[in-house]
A = this chain, B = another copy of it.
Amino acid sequence: MSHEPDAEVSLQPEEGWHCTHSYYTFDWGELTGLEEYETAAGREEIIAILDPQGPEAPMRLQTSIVSGHKADFGLMLMDPDPLKVDAVHQRLMASSLGPAMFASYSFISLTEVSEYVPSLEQYGQKLVDEEGETSGSPSYHAKMKAYEQREGHMRRQRLTPEFPAWPCTCFYPMNKKREVVENWFLLDFEARRRLMGEHARTGMTFGGKVTQLITVGLGLEDWEWGVTLWARNPGFLRDIVYRMRFDEASARYAVFGPFFTSYITTAEKMLDHCRIGIQTEPV
């Protein structure tokens, strides 16, 4: 039994951030019951609450217009403090438009670095074992240095990600299968690493077209992982998911939850699109 009395008692993980994906639907029965000035006020309040530069905004705050009937808009929120993330939801609900909207779905998770990414030491060993490098040689050093930078960038991008500037995004939760014959969690580490490596290489072929972020729901959510994709255009969302479905990691072991496709924009444009508080001309 290992005691670590020094581990801090805190709502914040030791590394990485909390992440919440939230989806909201407007209720026009309630909206119609509001006075015009209430809707106008609510509109301004929502714009303020969803301002990524606002005084109470979490570290990341992204607003998008959702396609289809599942929701009208989506939020992607990240911060070290889970209550700061959740406070965005509570401020929306307590706003003048709160009575006229409801949360249709959410997914809570944590950022993390995948255990399948080699550490610097593991990478060095791999150079020697698999690529015939001599430890300590100039080319070994050059490669190690390059990896160190890449790995550092990758860690930051996983734990405290910057979001890409692409407008098309899709979120879905997923599990790994635990069937009688095909059980991810009964595979040994090496087998899992190999499958995830193959999967990652497929992902890399979409470099410049699609960016992916995996966050972890294990211990927090109904699903084990959450996948967020950003794409240059919506066709690439389809292309990468279709292509990846043939990877053994997906084909044999993945179980997928609901998909939420949305288009990134500002709170103001989202409200315009949803016709909230705008002068509605006779259509």
Any B CB within 8 A of the CB of A120: no
User: Which residue in chain B gives the minimum CB-CB distance to A221?
Assistant: B259
Q: List 8 extra interface pairs beyond A2-B205, A68-B221, CB under 8 A.
A: A11-B167, A11-B234, A14-B235, A20-B68, A22-B68, A31-B99, A93-B274, A110-B234
A121 to chain B, nearest CB (A): 21
Task: Report how far A22 CA is from B27 CA in the complex, Å.
Answer: 17
Q: Are B237 and A7 in contact, CB atoms less than 8 angstroms apart?
A: no
Any B CB within 8 A of the CB of A135: no
Q: Are B219 and A252 in contact, CB atoms less than 8 angstroms apart?
A: no
Residues of A that sit less than 8 Å from B by CB: 1-5, 7-16, 18, 20, 22, 26-32, 41, 45, 48-49, 65, 67-70, 72, 82-83, 85-87, 89-91, 93-95, 98-100, 103-108, 110, 112, 165-168, 170, 178-183, 185-186, 204-205, 207-209, 216-222, 224, 229, 232-242, 245-246, 248, 250-252, 256-259, 261, 263, 273-275, 280, 282-283
User: Which residue in chain B gives the minimum CB-CB distance to A167?
Assistant: B11
Report B-chain residues with C-beta under 8 Å of the C-beta of A69: 22, 89, 103-106
Q: Are B9 and A99 in contact, CB atoms less than 8 angstroms apart?
A: no
Report B-chain residues with C-beta under 8 Å of the C-beta of A22: 68-69
Q: Are B273 and A83 in contact, CB atoms less than 8 angstroms apart?
A: yes
Q: Are B242 and A220 in contact, CB atoms less than 8 angstroms apart?
A: no
Q: Are B89 and A233 in contact, CB atoms less than 8 angstroms apart?
A: no
Report B-chain residues with C-beta under 8 Å of the C-beta of A7: 208-209, 232-233, 236
User: Which residue in chain B gives the minimum CB-CB distance to A184?
Assistant: B251
Task: Report how far A171 CA is from B27 CA in the complex, Å.
Answer: 27
User: Which residue in chain B gives the minimum CB-CB distance to A45?
Assistant: B283
Q: Are B45 and A282 in contact, CB atoms less than 8 angstroms apart?
A: yes
Task: Report how far A29 CA is from B14 CA in the complex, Å.
Answer: 38
Report B-chain residues with C-beta under 8 Å of the C-beta of A250: 185
| B86, B219, B245: the one within 8 Å of A67 (CB) | B86
A133 to chain B, nearest CB (A): 21
Report B-chain residues with C-beta under 8 Å of the C-beta of A222: 256-259
| B29, B94, B274: the one within 8 Å of A90 (CB) | B274
Task: Report how far A209 CA is from B14 CA in the complex, Å.
Answer: 12
| B2, B4, B82, B183: the one within 8 Å of A251 (CB) | B183
User: Which residue in chain B gives the minimum CB-CB distance to A93?
Assistant: B28
Q: Are B67 and A82 in contact, CB atoms less than 8 angstroms apart?
A: yes
Task: Report how far A4 CA is from B83 CA in the complex, Å.
Answer: 40
